[in-house]
A and B are shown apart, each in its own frame.
Chain A
Amino acid sequence: MKLLLSNLVVVVSLLLGMPLIGIGQESENLDQRIFLLTNELRCLVCQNQSLAESEAALAVDLKNKVVKLIEQGKTDDQIREYMVSRYGDFVLYDPPFKLKTMLLWWGPFLILLLMLIMAKSFVSNKKIITGSQSYTEEQLRNARKKLNE
């Protein structure tokens, strides 16, 4: 069982890690870059839309500004910084990780951990069948054979 658990842990943590890899890459493609950037910047005058989605006058101005800044060779981070220095963290749909957003980013995983600890009480005060990790390779082979029959 230890084997299975360790396997599971590896797989799960791999799967957990995978989505994180895809985020934050800078795209080479210009259209794609504009699209991604204006999607994560919030329109200030709308109820709740990104710059990309909005057709409000200010949103159009800011979109054009983004394009201009890209043409000037600014990086995505510099463009985000440009917006934040004028409008504050409010413009970022992707809240930056800092002291006051720590709970936001870690919270979900803390909650998960807390619930796992609580859930242990469902299981651990029951007897867990011991010796299950002592299956030999032969027993495993037999089991497989049985299954294939």
Chain B
Amino acid sequence: MIPEIGNFLLMLALVVAVIQSVFPLVGASRGNFQLMSLAVTSGRLQFILILFSFFCLIYCFLFNDFSVLNVAKNSNSSLPWAYRIAASWGSHEGSMLLWLVMLSGWTFAVSIKSRQLPMEMLSRTIGVMGLISIGFLIFIIFTSNPFDRLLPAAADGADLNPLLQDPGMVIHPPMLYMGYVGCVVPFAFAIAALLGGRLDSTWARWSRPWTTYSWVFLTIGIALGSWWAYYELGWGGWWFWDPVENASFMPWLSATALMHSLAVSEKRGGFKAWTVLLAILTFALSLLGTFLVRSGVITSVHAFASDPARGIYILAFLVLVVGASFSLYAIRAPKVGVGGSFDVISREGALLANNILFLASTAAILLGTLYPLFLDALGLGKISVGPPYFDVIFVSIMTPAIFFMGIGPLAVWKKAEIPDLVFRLKWLMFIAGTAASICMFFAGKWSPLVILGVFLAFWIISSSFLVFFERFKSVSQSTNLTNIGVCRRLPLGFYGMLTAHFGVAVFIIGVTAVGGYEQEKDLKMRIGEGVQVENYIVRLDRFAEIKGPNFDSTVGVFSIFEDGNFIAVLKPEKRFYHVQQMPMTEAAIDSSVTRDLYLSLGEPLQDGSWIVRVYLKPFVGWIWAGAFVMALGGILAASDRRFRKLREEKVREKNLV
């Protein structure tokens, strides 16, 4: 019964989605307020319907309804309950429903938070989101229905892929999808603005917090995924340039460019056509990612079971949405105009440079991801494009971007005083260079890449400090506030920017240290044996057998000594999951601020010894810490008073009228 209700709710949601898109869009073009007023109601109703449908699916998983095909394929009665819930988005069908929950959730949020928007704009925005919703609902109901029955019912389920039986599975997909799908909001705003011909700075101001929030989720989602892969896959990598990772990274890069471009559009009225294009592009990339992951056109560690029919549908939908958007752009954008004028050396200039570099790196990743497909389609043979390519190209393009990141906030809008800027930049170079040299002196050995990384990190940090003090000084000179008062006077958006940039520096330090100094040892070990890695000794004490809820596990017990002193016991596991008959490696990690000591069990050998992988990863935690600091910066920026004030002003205006 419950699956039928879930299915019915989805169909109902489809009807509501049609109402949500057709009437408000027609209403907006005819100036019919009654039709437009349907937008908010139907948008909210749609969210409730889809949310309850999703609850139905979770119910089926939680209570082991193996008469549902999706449950029978992806769950098992011995699976712990938390993973049974997570299993509801572990399959292609379930994850599409999660996607839809997020989409309608964002629609709901827009309908609540954007009451100050002009009626036309709001109806168009929600209407566009409704159109996207229709596409995905049809896709789910007719090609990937999570409620399809299995008759007769299975006695038990085939279990969730053991790789996914991890706390990461509970939190990573919802976060990532939240960000992925969040890109729809600036997209819908952009399309609404193009339709209505209103591309002014208020449009940019509305879009900004939404863009930033979805960027925050995307950042957290990607970071969690990277961290998960790091500890779960057992070989200690944190980024593999796998097509699935690229699929999430491209919208992130594009969204980053969009955030910065929106800043110019809002504050200076510039880059408008460009900003609109970025908003469309970001969502297009997020749709493209969905296609790549689910169509099987590209091999990836994380491809869903591929089905050509699904691939064709998503491609058709992609062509429809993106094709229509770009066509609309081609028709409307020429009338938008370029916006305010500025000199090359100005904050606009630096932001434009940032935009171009971010977009170029996005294009490079797209090219690298799809190049094997291009060659294959042209009958030119098969090649692989992997980390060596992406590392070189990405670092080459992003290095100048990081460089501009230091300059941008220092330059003033429109036209910077060049000698002044040069003077400050020379100082920054000097500081960053000195700091990098000192670090290299203490590190002992170094490579060009390490110097580059450390230099860039200090370049950002010193520039951020300088920006802060200059701003601080200018405020304290023009007011007679106390120091704390001045700090409070500075807008949150400013702190957000500094924090996010600082996060990038932290991230770069992590990446540089791991890339330059990580130690990897693949060893044969017997009980009682110890190995030395730098100043650590890893000793294999014994093995233990453990029974888990749905697996058996061999646990290696290792003692870790630092400079001869005992510091920790690590217990990496080799698990065997019964239902899927699949072995799994569970790494054990001793983390500290400056390094991770990472152990994972390889294979047992015939002579009773084991292959053990020992990694020493300096500063690896800084990679994810950096990402979270970036996300924190995003949260600060998005909660700037300015965006709230706008709302209050509008409400006041309304009351006056």
**Is A100 in contact with chain B by the CB < 8 A criterion?**
yes
What are 12 residue pairs bridging A and B, where the CB atoms are less than 8 Å apart in the complex?
A4-B422, A12-B403, A19-B452, A31-B521, A47-B302, A90-B383, A95-B389, A103-B371, A104-B368, A104-B389, A119-B356, A122-B352
Known: A111-B364, A123-B349. A42 touches B400 (CB 8 A): no
Binary interface profile of B, 406-435, with partner A (CB < 8 Å = 1, else 0)? 000000000101111111100001000000
Contact between chains at B395 and A19 (CB < 8 Å):
yes
**Is B608 in contact with chain A by the CB < 8 A criterion?**
no
8 Å CB contact of B384 from A20, A42, A47, A126: A42
Contact between chains at A53 and B233 (CB < 8 Å):
yes
Nearest 6 pairs of A and B residues by beta carbon: A93-B386, A94-B388, A108-B364, A126-B341, A112-B360, A22-B449
Known: A55-B603, A93-B385, A104-B367. A15 touches B403 (CB 8 A): yes
- Closest chain A residue, CB of each to CB of B386: A93
Within 8 Å CB of A55, what residues of B? 602-603
8 Å CB contact of A107 from B364, B399, B415: B364
Contact between chains at B301 and A49 (CB < 8 Å):
yes
Within 8 Å CB of A128, what residues of B? 343-344
8 Å CB contact of A50 from B342, B361, B386: B386
Within 8 Å CB of B403, what residues of A? 11-12, 15
Within 8 Å CB of A15, what residues of B? 399-400, 403, 452
- Closest chain A residue, CB of each to CB of B380: A100
- Closest chain A residue, CB of each to CB of B241: A93
- Closest chain A residue, CB of each to CB of B367: A107
Within 8 Å CB of A12, what residues of B? 399-400, 403
A18 to B436, CA, bound (A): 15
Binary interface profile of A, 78-113, with partner B (CB < 8 Å = 1, else 0)? 000000000011111111000011011101100110
Binary interface profile of B, 342-357, with partner A (CB < 8 Å = 1, else 0)? 1111000100100011
**Is A72 in contact with chain B by the CB < 8 A criterion?**
no
Give A116 Cβ to nearest chain B Cβ, in Å. Answer: 6
Contact between chains at A4 and B384 (CB < 8 Å):
no
Known: A1-B418, A55-B602. A19 touches B341 (CB 8 A): no
8 Å CB contact of A35 from B240, B375, B396, B520: B520
8 Å CB contact of B385 from A39, A95, A132: A95
Binary interface profile of B, 364-404, with partner A (CB < 8 Å = 1, else 0)? 10011001000100001111111111011101110110010
Within 8 Å CB of A1, what residues of B? 344-345, 418
8 Å CB contact of B420 from A7, A125, A147: A147
Give A132 Cβ to nearest chain B Cβ, in Å. Answer: 6
A93 to B383, CA, bound (A): 8
- Closest chain A residue, CB of each to CB of B338: A122
**Is B242 in contact with chain A by the CB < 8 A criterion?**
yes
Contact between chains at B420 and A89 (CB < 8 Å):
no
Within 8 Å CB of B380, what residues of A? 100
Given A123-B344, A127-B341, list of 7 further CB < 8 A pairs?
A: A22-B449, A53-B237, A90-B382, A90-B383, A108-B396, A115-B356, A129-B415
Binary interface profile of A, 39-50, with partner B (CB < 8 Å = 1, else 0)? 110100011111
**Is B235 in contact with chain A by the CB < 8 A criterion?**
yes
Contact between chains at B396 and A16 (CB < 8 Å):
yes
Contact between chains at B300 and A47 (CB < 8 Å):
yes
Contact between chains at B386 and A47 (CB < 8 Å):
no
Contact between chains at B356 and A112 (CB < 8 Å):
yes
Contact between chains at B418 and A132 (CB < 8 Å):
yes
**Is B591 in contact with chain A by the CB < 8 A criterion?**
no
- How many chain B residues touch A (Cβ–Cβ < 8 Å)? 72
Contact between chains at A48 and B338 (CB < 8 Å):
no
Contact between chains at A140 and B423 (CB < 8 Å):
yes
Contact between chains at B375 and A100 (CB < 8 Å):
yes
Contact between chains at A104 and B349 (CB < 8 Å):
no
Known: A40-B387, A47-B299, A48-B300. A116 touches B356 (CB 8 A): yes
**Is B82 in contact with chain A by the CB < 8 A criterion?**
no
Within 8 Å CB of B274, what residues of A? 122
A90 to B386, CA, bound (A): 10
- Closest chain B residue, CB of each to CB of A143: B419
Contact between chains at A100 and B381 (CB < 8 Å):
yes
Known: A93-B384, A104-B385. A119 touches B352 (CB 8 A): yes
Contact between chains at B389 and A19 (CB < 8 Å):
no
A15 to B453, CA, bound (A): 10
Within 8 Å CB of A40, what residues of B? 386-388
Give A92 Cβ to nearest chain B Cβ, in Å. Answer: 6
Contact between chains at B395 and A88 (CB < 8 Å):
no
Give B288 Cβ to nearest chain A Cβ, in Å. Answer: 17
8 Å CB contact of B381 from A7, A46, A89: A89
A3 to B338, CA, bound (A): 28
List which A1-37 residues lie within 8 A (CB) of chain B.
1, 3-4, 7, 11-12, 15-16, 18-23, 31, 35
Contact between chains at B303 and A108 (CB < 8 Å):
no
8 Å CB contact of A48 from B299, B359, B399: B299
Give A111 Cβ to nearest chain B Cβ, in Å. Answer: 5
Known: A116-B356, A123-B342, A143-B417. A93 touches B303 (CB 8 A): no
A11 to B417, CA, bound (A): 20
**Is B363 in contact with chain A by the CB < 8 A criterion?**
yes
**Is B655 in contact with chain A by the CB < 8 A criterion?**
no
Contact between chains at A18 and B449 (CB < 8 Å):
yes
Within 8 Å CB of B385, what residues of A? 93, 95, 104
Give B510 Cβ to nearest chain A Cβ, in Å. Answer: 17
Within 8 Å CB of B341, what residues of A? 126-127
A122 to B353, CA, bound (A): 11
**Is A66 in contact with chain B by the CB < 8 A criterion?**
no
